[in-house]
Structure 1
């Protein structure tokens, strides 16, 4: 089947080629038989090549080696056929002429298109070269312009930086002037109330310092400082921060001073003072009188002593003699007995000594306090009965109170007052500058 299909195709191809040859023979003048023979040979070679090509294609598709003899036969037939047709020399028909015309037109169109493409390519190359040159020129111009712009920008930037520094310095100076002006206006606007409050604070601080220096007390001075701090808080001015800081330090220093129970010590002295009327003076013992002792030595006692033994009697007599003779050792001169009037004065002096100790306690005078209690203790121990309960209680109370320290090392609280004075001086200068 493949061979039968191939033969009509080959016949058709051969006929078309023969027609073209004949057409060429008609259009061209027949000069000699040599040209015709040469054309026939060329046509035969073309047909043979076509047959071989078709045979190769068929052999590649089918892969049958047995088709090769048929291809050779067909090629031989095709080679012999142009010779027969050349011998026939049939006249050309209108389809051949039309095909020739179409071929010529196609060739002309192809040539024109080829020429046009070459012309366009050349024109495009020229245009590209011109555009490239123009671009290079533009780039060079742009680089030059950019360099100039960069130089101008750098110069302008330097000028702006210099101007910015100048403006910054001017702004700082204006801010300082504005701050100073605001402070002056603030000082002028708050003259009335702030001045009165600061004057009150200064008075309280002065009074607290006087209490500490003169009275040696912390309670009163501490309350004064706290009142001053409360007033400063109400003023609500940041300018007096240093004053309030120093005031807080002074308050802390006063609070660190050891506390003295002044009221308790004062009441104890008062209680001891009330016990003075209950003291008993040293009496003259009745057993120390000689008549009373001699009455106990009777004849019956002597006889009894001889009967009970000389030793026992002697012991009793010795005991009686011990009671009769009393030896007292005194380092001081013997003081005479007090009269009732002198006893009254002694009690009043004791009252005075204890009251003087109370006053020294309130005034924080340690020397006066110690002297008053020492004198009272000496009088009680000298003129009143030692074994009496009231005397012993009074002596113990006085000894305990003698150990109390009524004074303490007071801190220096003048820092807040100095800070306030400095602030007031500064505000006064601001007011004077604002007025001028």
Structure 2
């Protein structure tokens, strides 16, 4: 600390200068002591003390007090700072502990989740292993059935195609489709590249040649012609049967007389005319069908249409007898009830006669020579293949158990 000096008054400076001799050299702190020694008090009286010493003491005391106060203040500040720091340290420590606990909990939860995921992964791996084993077994079975002997599948395919050709030939009489199916069967056998199948392929070739020689019938064209005839029924004109409507026993004197005297003859003629109009007998050359009333020709036309429809339905079913009987019935009705001299009727009957001459059945082979040969080969080879596959499946569980 720096020491402060109190300024003095001019009178004190003058008195001090008069009383105190001025030495040549002295220390600044020895001023009062030298003065006291040089001028001792006279008559035993003490000289008054100088005012500098109490002032320095006071200043020193003040300095000490200030130093103490400053030290106390610094101490209190340090204590307060230490308390604050301790509180902050404790707070930080509690936070760190809380964070450590939370981290430990998170680690425990993560470990538990990892353990659970590990268990799930293990179960999934086990299930995947089981599925892989099952898949491998299935692949072995498929390889046993298909991969080991693919030619058996081609042979079975050829047998199926030949059987389908027989169904199309005998049920639908579809020569074109049957021939295409036989050609596909021959192509399947050709893919096998097996010389032992030459006899079967030769039989298929013979069946294809036999079908090529069958004369085909235009069934669709026949059906269209029959339907066209059904549409022309309304254009037919009924026959005029009024030419011979006179009674069989009619005489020429049916006219009434104007004379009163001939009332008997007039009454007899009137009676005969009434009876002749009440019961009429007409001659006809044919009696194939019963007569219809003139206003019932619509029923006749509908009957003709129904017969033509039956004939059209018999064509795809290859019912030759039903087809011919229906057309013959239509021809008989048209000739009996419609005008044969009309142009529409003549064209209708001409078309009907042409359709009656059509044969809706074909002379197809009764059997395909290749079908029994293929059936025998399929039974032999497929049975051997199934026996091998069943034996391999039976040996598979025994190998797994070992």
TM-score band, normalised by the shorter chain? 0.3 to 0.5
Greater Cα radius of gyration, structure 1 or 2: 1
**TM-score (normalised: structure 1):** 0.44
Structure having the larger proportion of residues in helix: 1
